[in-house]
Amino acid sequence: MELLGPIVNGIGIIIGTLFGLFFSRIPERFKETIMSGIGLTVIIIGLSMGLASDRIIVILLSLLTGAVIGELFDLDEKLNRLGAYIEAKFNKDGKNESKISEGFVTASLIFVIGALAVVGALDSGLRGDHEILYTKALIDGFVALVLTTTLGIGVIFSAVPVVLYEGGIALFATQIDKFIPEDLLELFIEDMTATGGLLIVAIGLNLLKITQIRVANLLPSLLTVGIVLYVYIQIESML
């Protein structure tokens, strides 16, 4: 079953969020310090991923083309609008300040961007091996727990885009080996990991409130990296 891994990953996020709700009633200053720690950790993770490839020109062009596409469709605004819609549905009385939208958007970006999501989903689709996504479910569950202590119940809704994203890749992977050579696929994973790492660094900087980067508008770079890499390889073979 190709979708077993993605589904388990989603369940892990839900369980982590539910556990996190028990620790949400901590003083605000504790939450601020915890969020700073999360931001710093996310940056370290992103930097380590960013070193996965030495093809800097591919990463740069992927980010540039992805940014153009993302800004044209304004994905960041659409994602935030979806978060606001969810928040309106679950905070109808408006008595308390809610972070449902922020929790949904932040958690979705953290859980979707990254090598484990893609590699794990590919393994689920190509080989029926869900071990990577099982491991990711444990990691995401813990991260969801920590995020929930500061961002609240909104984190739980990130399970939906995670399952859809990983499930889509897993289903696509059942056919991918028919038209993409294995060596090219390995290079794509390397460059996609490095590109995703930079996006994760951006998320960390946003969590620390150092920047306000529209990370969602950079998400298309995870797709354009495949096109840029292919063109790069073709040009390199002609030189």
pLDDT of residue 189: 85
DSSP H helices in 51-74: 56-73
Residue 119 has pLDDT above 80, yes or no: yes
What is d(CA 45, CA 39) in angstroms, rounded to the nearest whole number?
10
User: Rounded to the nearest 10 degrees, how much is the dihedral formed by the CA atoms of 90, 93, 97, 99?
Assistant: 10
Q: Where are the domains of the chain?
A: 4-54+74-209
Task: Convert the pLDDT of each residue in 141-192 to its tens digit.
Answer: 998 998 998 888 999 999 999 999 999 999 988 887 677 787 888 898 889 8
Q: What is the 3-state secondary structure (H, E, C) of 163-219?
A: HHHHHHHHHHHHHHCCCCCHHHHHHHHHHHHHHHHHHHHHHHHHHCCCCCCCHHHHC
By percentage, how much of the chain surpasses pLDDT 90? 53
Task: Convert the pLDDT of each residue in 176-235 to its tens digit.
Answer: 767 778 788 889 888 988 998 899 899 999 989 999 999 999 999 988 999 999 999 999
Of 219, 222, 198, 202, which is closest to residue 210 (Cα–Cα)?
Answer: 202
Overall average pLDDT of the 67-81 stretch: 93
By percentage, how much of the chain surpasses pLDDT 70? 96
Residue 61 has pLDDT above 50, yes or no: yes
pLDDT of residue 32: 84
Task: Convert the pLDDT of each residue in 6-35 to its tens digit.
Answer: 999 999 999 999 999 988 777 878 878 888
Distances (CA, A) of 66 to 40, 48, 80, 110, 129: 25, 21, 19, 18, 30
What backbone torsions phi and psi does residue 107 show, to the nearest 5 degrees?
A: -65, -40
Of 75, 146, 85, which is closest to residue 110 (Cα–Cα)?
Answer: 146
pLDDT of residue 90: 76
What is d(CA 108, CA 47) in angstroms, rounded to the nearest whole number?
19
pLDDT of residue 118: 85
Overall average pLDDT of the 126-147 stretch: 90
93 SS3 class: coil
Which amino acid belongs to residue 130? H
Task: Convert the pLDDT of each residue in 82-102 to its tens digit.
Answer: 888 888 887 665 544 567 888
pTM of the model: 0.83
